Amino acid sequence: MKNAQSLSELNAVNSFAALPEAFYTRLPAQGLNNPRLLHANHEAAALIGLDPAVLSTSEFLEVFSGSRPLPGGDTLAAVYSGHQFGVWAGQLGDGRAHLLGEVEGPEGAWELQLKGSGMTPYSRMGDGRAVLRSSVREYLAGEAMHGLGVPTTRALALVVSDDPVMRETVETAAIVTRMSPSFVRFGSFEHWSSRRQPDLLKTLADYVIDRYYPQCREAQAGETPSETAPYVNLLQEVTRRTALLMADWQAVGFCHGVMNTDNMSILGLTLDYGPYGFMDGFRLGHICNHSDAEGRYSWNRQPSVALWNLYRLGGSLHMLVQDADALRAVLDQFEAIFTRAFHDRMGAKMGLAAWVPDDEALLDDLLKLMDANQADFTLTWRRLADALQGRRSAFEDLFIDRLAAGAWLDRLLARHAQQGRPVAETAAAMNRVNPLYVLRNHLAENAIRAAKMGDPGEIDTLLKLLRNPYVAQDGYERYAGLPPDWANGIEVSCSS
């Protein structure tokens, strides 16, 4: 398949725009003044079959700065509702985002969405804009998560301008182009159930099933076919994907920061990067969002919040499935799926070929030790392979209580001895699942500072490292080291 040599050659499909108009408002994006392309993502362009040469054209800048529509697209802002910080917020929607259209790529379709592209009917009290600071963070985040193997939205382009935007201070505007197979959320379903409109809820559910989960139409072994079975199966698949996503987040020390139901993807993707963070010093109750005064979305609560959100989705589908017990039985599977996946991931991080019940205490004791010492999350795991090969101090130096760290390490080494696996083989396996590079807040901050000067160099460097985060690269040691002292002063909030 030949790459498109211009945007007009892309294969637009626009399936969401074919839904009834109650699901969105058609309106043009509001472009930035004197826009400049700060960065374009060649890997993301390949996903939609776009030739890299197109990224430097004036047409590309005009479309992804919001100045003209995507050729063949159908620009709109979607409506949805949701629970925010556990409280019903009513109608929400794309308050500063425009879906430009959907493009069929070599391996599937991708929706292209501008974030920061002006006000919509769903902006409420917002101005419809995004600032450079948050846009750089979102542009980098999806690529960082993809490099770690975590399901996520992606980013195609980052456009900046000198247009002023008022947040805590006056900042400059930017637009990031996000890519996802779908931007449908749990809150999309809550919207229609809260309005007691089962016909539109069914339309949405059928669209999602037919487009993304066609296997949900197939009768399960021993199951009596019924009209409502596909919706039960839909909840089951979303529950499974969400449980696996939570295991992925916990294993890499990622905190989303604002797990509202309107930020939960129906496809089990990491969606809406705002006040997220990868932990430096580990705390079980780490809160990455300065706006989260109650700690609702702390690291150790993320799995239970995900289940709470799934119950809201299940409650919405109850309008289509009268058998509440069937829905509840599906939701009851979450804990087992998450626990098994979490143990698999954490066992691999410890170099264990197979998880056994006694490994639970080994993992819990390490997490408690890390919490008590605020040991660096990423480096603690990465240096386990060094310790296994005789370089114990690399691991123990991360702990204030080095004796306790050494005692725990002895237990892990004894566990490894039981496996009888060659040390070099085990260490290599551990380094394949314990990243060296993650998008720490201070690294993102350095990229933001450079971007404010019009320099995309730090973005280039971070993408190079984060796309292959498990392999050490010479000359980039500072990107894999402990954060500087000034990083402790970085705060991210819902305005981020």
115 to 12, 75, 97, 171, 201: CA distances (angstroms): 20, 13, 4, 16, 26
Strand partners, 26: 76
What is the distance between the alpha carbons of residues 446 and 92, in angstroms, rounded to a whole number? 33
- The residue assigned the tokens 């997490």 is 367
Nearest partner of 297 among 246, 266, 339, 260, judged by Cα: 260
CA-closest candidate to residue 478, choices 428, 434, 430, 442: 442
CA distance 83 to 91: 10
The answer to whether residues 85 and 294 touch, using CB atoms and an 8 Å cutoff, is yes
Which residues on adjacent β-strands are paired with residue 73?
none
Residue 115, Cα to own-chain centre: how many angstroms?
A: 15
Determine which one of 74, 94, 248, 262 is catalytic. Answer: 262
- Quickly count: other Cβ atoms within 10 Å of residue 453's Cβ: 8
Helices 423-431 and 334-349 cross at an angle (nearest 10°) of 120
Assigned token pair, 180: 């996802």
Whole-number Å distance between alpha carbons of 54 and 58? 9
Helical residues (DSSP H) of 94-197, grouped into ranges: 132-147, 186-194
262 flagged as catalytic:
yes
Q: Which residues are within 8 A (CB) of 19 and not within 5 positions of it... i.e. 6 or more apart?
A: 203, 204, 207
To 5 degrees, how large is the angle CA 311–CA 187–CA 494? 105
DSSP string across 387-401: HHTT-HHHHHTT-SS
Please calculate the CA angle 118-119-125 and round it to the nearest 5 degrees: 130
Catalytically annotated residues: 262
